[in-house]
Structure 1
Amino acid sequence: MRVFLSILLLLPALCFGQAARQNDNQITIGTKETIHSAILKEDRHLWVYVPKSGDGAKTRYPVMYLLDGEAFFTSMAGTVDYLSGQGKMPEMIIVGIENTGRVRDLTPTHYPFWASGEPANDLKSSGGGPNFMAFLEKEVMPYIEKRYQTQPYRMFVGHSLGGLTVLQALVHQPALFTSYVAIDPSIWWDKQLIMKQAEKALTQKDYATESLFYAVANTMEKGMDTVRVVQDKTQDNHNVRNHLLFRETLRKSKNLAWAWKYYPEDNHGSVPFPAQYDALRYFFKKYELDKDLKDSTVTVDYLKNHFRTVSALLQYQVLPSAGTVNALGYIALGNKQYARAYQFFKLNLDNYPADGNLHDSMGDYYVAIGDKKKAMEAFRKALSLEEVAETRRKLKSLEAGR
């Protein structure tokens, strides 16, 4: 058995060092790739994370498109890697889109004014949102889907002006993504234009196949609360007030699955980190098995039925992870429930026939029941797929009659 188991509104958080996959003395989390955009007439950098199990494998993954990629790539990749490793969500490819002109790309209209109405030189480049979305749809997505093994499930994540861009896509191009994460979105933009557009679109369009997670930071004055802020008219409290009003629009939406969460202990800059985690837990709350692996009622049929439900949720076929099923097989083997162990190991091989580790596991099963011939066949098959010292040792031991 081997291992199975304001300016604040405009600027993203600082980017921290990458970490995850180790190669000699370097630890990396992904690759930085450059594509030329004919639409934007410039080169653009993409930060791409592929699950560790995807190295050279044929497994296909859902894809997350992450705005402000240089700021949030590391934290998001770490969160996805950990949660998927715990069986709480599927593994995902993450595509972080690095900024060149953030105000230009993440604003839907030209509006060189702050929320207060004061002129803003920093916003004079605004209004390039439609071009940016065309770049994302017609250049980035085809590039990723041609280069990587992808599933049709797409998630769109953005913070601040990026959150505004996410809401723009939900309202105007809902079929482009399956799930949407708007983190403290700048809905004040252009006199709350997105609120007016959403009021119409969310109540008229059928959003049966889309879902939204909406995160709100505490940007109110000290002493203000979410009850009194609705009646408050001061500029300092407009963000939370607008978010509460947007929640009322969500309540009127047609079939949209959504969650709205307020973070009283987090400001605009700190809210992305907890919101990333909560969004993933919300979207994939039905993904995790609802029984402990040691529960005797966890059977092959239970797994198949559970992942039929998960497949319906994600809108593509999802198989139980090899690691989870392998764990179940070894639990049964340890309890000398040999027929039960065989069923789990066989399910894994049916789903992942080219995984050498799973043939190794089946070899362990045959050793346990005393079928030396089939055990050696299983170990040889495993070694034909991947040379592993432990498997080689077990095969030599059987060949030597030990």
Structure 2
Amino acid sequence: MKPSFLFLLLIAFTAQAQTPSTGITIGHVDTLYSNILGETRKLWVYVPKQAEVGRYTLERFPVVYLLDGEDHFDYVRAILREMSEGSDLIPPMILVGIVNADRNRDFSPTYSTSAWYGDAPRRYRTTGGAENFTHFLKEELIPSIESRYPVAPYRMLIGHSLSGLYTIHALLHHTELFEAYLAIDPGLRWDNQWMIQQAKKVFTSKSFQDKKLYLTVANTYKMPMDSLLISQDTNRASEFIRANFHFASLLQSSTPQALNFQTRYHESDSHASVPLISIYEGLRFIFDYYHFPAQWGLYLDPDYQPDSALIAHFNHVSEKIHYLALPPESRVDRLASGFMTIDQPQKALACFRLNIRNYPTSAHAHERLGDFYAAMGDKAKAKEYYTKALSIKSLPDTRKKLDRLMAEK
């Protein structure tokens, strides 16, 4: 296999006051040569900032594999960051946007030259490569990502339109490859609804234990009729949406064994506009167990024990996500700071100690406990934890704090 090369992708948002060199880094570009596909594939990769700054203990993150990466990477990355760092609705996640080479080839499960409008475009002559693309994912791309990035054992696949068709293909025929599947207005009319016929067989013979599917359908017909009437329509123009309604109905009626799924019809959204809202809603559904709510009224309760509550909550998260998910160090640190702000030092102390239990090799966790004791006027304890922090890692600011305490009488 040829080597891969990693370099920064800079997306510049230029304003009048900016120089041409000013930019905002939103990810990396990675390339991987595929022996299976016989070509070099470009990847756009975003890693949560917890992995890039040395302040907190390096965490491991679930991975989102995003098809049609060049079309969706920017806003999906922004949604992931806001929903994790901003509101703690989902865990921080690595995003891998797979840039297309020949999407008609890679995402189509069968060879078919018939487009939805009846013509046979030249670009369809390479169709039918979904299985080969799956081999690329399974044998080359995923192992490469997992060997070079701090990944947790949880993978999600997101696809829209033709790549949504592939997402359903992967769910049915390579169920073990991902834990969650988000299919956005998929092209299920492909080859006379071939995938739906496959689903009828697979749904009765396979278990989808611990798998989640979120399926959205856009209004591609633009006629004033409800979903039932659309499903009964015979106009060629409604074939795309009819196939998606057919699949959604099949999900409801066949109840695939153990599959946790949700479908949503967005009557007011087009095929082009539906991905944005689908990503947000799909992530909310897939990680509906993750959020640890900030209930300040509860936090003020003198009997409330934040460390016990966090432990119980993330034990539940671990059961759902199927790996040990500890409360993120940065999140607990923010919570502790909040308790200090509202004059709840014992609760802050419980959070600082929880971080040290979970991340015993974190210099920052020990420094923060030293800060707590310094704020409480316990110089001996503050010196103890500053010293411990410095024994783990050389931190100039911590050294200054310790020297200042040592100089005091």
SS of structure 2 residue aligned to 1:320: coil
Match for residue 61 of structure 1?
A: 61
- Equivalents in 1 of 2:48, 2:209: separation in Å? 29
Partner Cα separation in structure 2 for residue 382 and residue 293 of structure 1 = 31
What amino acid does structure 2 have at the position aligned with 1:30? G
2:163 aligns to what? 162
Q: SS of 1:182's equivalent? A: strand
Residue 330 of structure 2 corresponds to which residue in structure 1? 323
CA RMSD of aligned residues (A): 2.2
Cα offsets for 1:273-292 (capped at 9, x unmatched): 11111111111111001451
Q: Match of 1:44?
A: 41
User: Residue 237 of structure 1 corresponds to which residue in structure 2?
Assistant: 238
Question: Which residue among 313, 321, 339 is the counterpart of 2:320?
Answer: 313
Aligned to 2:182: 181
Question: C-alpha distance in 2, partners of 1:174/1:327?
Answer: 38
Q: Does the alignment pair 1:387 with 2:395?
A: yes
Query: What are the residue-to-residue correspondences of 1:143-222 with 2, within 5 Å?
Result: 143-222=144-223
- Structure 1 equivalent of residue 3 of structure 2: none
Is the contact made by 2:158 and 2:182 (CA closer than 8 Å) also made in structure 1? yes
User: 8 Å contact 1:367–1:375 — kept in the other structure?
Assistant: yes
- Give 1:221's aligned amino acid: K
- Assess, with a 3 A threshold, how the Cα gap between structure 1 residues 387 and 293 changes in structure 2: closer, same or farther: farther
Q: Distance in 1 between matches of 2:141 and 2:119?
A: 35
**Structure 2 counterparts to residues 2-401 of structure 1, below 5 A:** 17=11, 25-55=22-52, 58-85=58-85, 86-251=87-252, 252=254, 253-290=256-293, 292-293=295-296, 295-296=298-299, 297-383=304-390, 385=393, 387=395, 389=397, 391-401=398-408
TM-score (norm 2): 0.87
Shift of 1:106: 1.0
Inter-CA distance 386–48: structure 2 relative to 1 (3 Å threshold) = farther
Partner of 1:13: none
Identity %: 38
Q: Tell me the alpha carbon deviations over residues 294-351 of structure 1, each in whole angstroms, 9 at most, x when there is no partner.
A: 5233521221111111111111110112233223323444455444332211111111
Cα offset, 1:396, TM superposition = 4.0
The one-letter amino acid of 1:233's match is T
Q: Please tell me whether the aligned partners of residues 185 and 218 of structure 2 are also in contact (alpha carbons under 8 angstroms).
A: yes
Deviation at 1:224, TM superposition (A): 3.0
The CA deviation string for residues 166-218 of structure 1, in whole angstroms up to 9 with x for no partner, is 00000001011000010110001011000011112123211121000101111
Q: Is the 8 A contact 1:33 1:47 kept in 2?
A: yes
User: Please, which runs of 5 or more residues in structure 2 have no aligned partner?
Assistant: 1-9, 14-20
- Partner SS state of residue 295, structure 1: helix
The answer for unaligned runs of 5 or more in structure 1 is 1-15
**Given the superposition, is the C-alpha separation of residues 18 and 204 from structure 1 closer, same or farther in structure 2, using an over 3 Å criterion?**
farther
**Distance across 2 between alignment mates of 1:99 and 1:336:** 53
Structure 1 letter corresponding to 2:357: D
Shift in Å at residue 17 of structure 1?
4.2
1:393 Cα deviation (Å)?
Answer: 4.8
Over residues 114-153 of structure 1, what are the superposed CA-to-partner deviations in whole Å (9 max), with x where a residue is unaligned?
1244333231111111111100110001101111121111
- Contact 2:218 2:267 survives alignment (8 Å): yes
Bigger RCO (CA 8 Å, 6+ sep):
1
